[in-house]
Chain A
Amino acid sequence: MRTTLNSVALPAPAPLLSRKGWAAFLAALIIVCAVAPVLNLWVPAGSAFHLSDYGVGLVGRIMCYAICALAMDLIWGFTGILSLGHGLFFALGGYAMGMYLMRQIGLDGNYKSKLPDFMVFLDWKELPWHWTFSDSFFATLFLIVAVPGIVAFVFGYFAFRSRIKGVYFSIITQAMTFAAMLLFFRNETGFGGNNGFTDFKRILDIPIATQGMRMTLFVLTGLTLLGFFLLARWLITTKFGRVLQAVRDAETRIMFSGYNPLGYKLTIWTISAMMCGVAGALYVPQVGIINPSEMSPANSIEIAIWAAVGGRATLIGPILGAFIVSGAKSWLTVAYPEFWLYFLGALFIGVTLFLPQGVMGLVRRILARKKGESA
């Protein structure tokens, strides 16, 4: 009897990444850290292999988007909670970074004042209280994760404790980001009103608008994306990740099994918000501006679109989705500006009708078919 019991082969715990996965990860790491800098900085501009500064900026920006898509996948794909307010967390991280960059301008602003230009314009005499720590880079690094984290934690605690679910949760997250946008539009809140922050000069006292700094930010963003990918992958391969999927599939059943979904939802929700905050902080120095339009509901919806196009609950899918949709957007808005919205609409319909599992679903189906043929 005992031997038959032991002969049951229990599956081994899933590795963090498969061998192929690690190979692909390493390749991505080399591209980000070595290939891209060499092609941009050392290959002469006339060469066919030269990576233009525009290209570096574009890919750097899209990698920030990809971090958001990854964060969205954790909360939507794996936990089944659709957030339409992740743009807020992105913007909060961006604003925290923006405040630091504004202080770095120092006396080089238009008004030659220690205060940021918009405050001089509003005739303010000293910095508001919430700018207290904006001078310190380390405090800024802390605020980048802490502010979105705390906002998400408080909001999530009340929403999840009241068992707000599904479309109702999506709507209130949408309302949350819209309300925040209106708040940041106001001049007296001290965030530069509808102009936001711009005209950055330096970061860590190093000029910001140089090719080298642009490349540094690009590499940092790439490393962050890859690091977050590993973190997300680790989270979902643990039992924690399986509980999240169980919450998505049958929340009452998981409660009967003795789990309290509140803690699980709140943890992943806060982690997801912090990831978006970091993405925002990396985004702002690369594009050189942050204003309340980053909190507009459309931006948050776009994050969900990236995840849906790439394929939910796949981690790699949403990253691909961010590249596909944002890449197409930046190409189409330049080449055929009037067709972008039509394209977006067609993409929606196409994905919903033909690719309910997103691009990754399609890839998996093709792989499965190939395997079937070879067997």
Chain B
Amino acid sequence: MTPELMEEGARRIEQHQATLAAKGANTASGGRSAGFLRPAIPGGVDTTHGRILYMEDVSVSFDGFKAINKLSLDIAPGELRCIIGPNGAGKTTMMDIITGKTRPDEGQVFFGSTIDLLRYKEAEIAQMGIGRKFQKPTVFEQLSVFENLELALSTNKAVTASMVFKLDSVQSDHLAEVLHVINLSDSVSRLAGNLSHGQKQWLEIGMLLMQDPKLLLLDEPVAGMTDEETERTAEMFLTLKGKHALMVVEHDMSFINTISDIVTVLCDGSVLAQGTLAQVQSDERVIEVYLGR
């Protein structure tokens, strides 16, 4: 390296520092070009922009049939969002896309502001904190309610860790809290196989809650429940709201009326209307798709 070049380099660095110092007075970060005190946590969900789930222009087609067509939807942290729509509107497909079961042809799906869900597999998405409950309850029938919840607890799940696992006091408090939320405190030692259909649904929701999900997707949670069980489920959802974001797909309008803030109506794979239940029920287009006029 020649002396001329070295001199030139030194001169440039000086100049650069001078410009930075001149700017320094009026920037909050003291002249730094990046926000070093606001690091993005790898794998962490960034909800500083007020959105836990963000879908934009998502489309997917099966054999030419557009199941989802330019769907855009977003959900705030702690929100309870109800999704309604006629059969074939794309409700289940939308959940499949969020959980990684189906890949969209185009569009974006973000969890928080930073995590692109389309890059991950089902199990990874589940571990990030998106819990999904399918229509048919599946619990471990030969194990007790307590053991079912204990298995679902988020902890080290390797073989050797399981052999020496002991429930600590924080975890038992969490477990007791979930038991309370899902109304099964009196059935701790009962075999899950002996529970009623509705109780099995609650137990499965409880198993999702044990993993501390940030977003819960619930597909027809009150289908097949008695009126009393439906009522209790509504109460349960209202307590969960705020701590977790919930997306509930349901057909039971009185149930939706009890729990909903904002209802999204899907039709033909895109959002038809959005608002309170009363608003969407009086919407001309919604009446049209439901009554077929």
Contact = CB atoms under 8 A, between A and B. Distances in A.
Q: A interface, by DSSP: helix, strand, loop or mixed?
A: helix
A316 interface: no
Contacts of B189: 11
Given A5-B177, A246-B151, A249-B141, A258 B166 contact: no
Contact of A11 (B141, B144, B151, B164): B144
Interface residues of A, number: 31
B140 interface: yes
A372 interface: no
B146 interface: yes
Contacts, number: 89
25 contacts: A4-B180, A5-B177, A6-B176, A10-B167, A239-B162, A240-B163, A240-B165, A242-B151, A243-B162, A245-B142, A246-B140, A249-B141, A249-B143, A250-B139, A250-B141, A252-B138, A254-B140, A256-B132, A257-B152, A258-B154, A258-B211, A263-B158, A263-B159, A264-B159, A267-B159
B150 interface: yes
A263 B161 CA distance: 12
Contact of A250 (B140, B146, B157, B188): B140
A150 interface: no
Contacts of B185: 8
Interface of B: 123, 126-127, 132, 138-144, 146-147, 150-152, 154, 157-159, 162-167, 172-173, 175-177, 179-180, 185, 188-189, 207, 211
Interface string A218-243: 00000000000000000100111011
A253 B149 CA distance: 12
B141 A239 contact: no
A11 B145 CA distance: 10
A259 B165 contact: no
Contacts of A267: 159
Nearest to A266: B159
Contact of A242 (B138, B143, B157): B143
A5 B180 contact: yes
A255 B126 CA distance: 10
Nearest to A243: B162
A205 to B, nearest CB: 39
Contacts of B188: 8-11
A248 B143 CA distance: 11
A273 B194 CA distance: 34
Contact of A257 (B146, B158, B177, B207): B207
A47 to B, nearest CB: 48
Given A11-B189, A243-B151, A249 B176 contact: no
Find the residue from B140, B144, B152, B180 having the highest chain A CB count within 10 A.
B140
A5 B163 contact: no
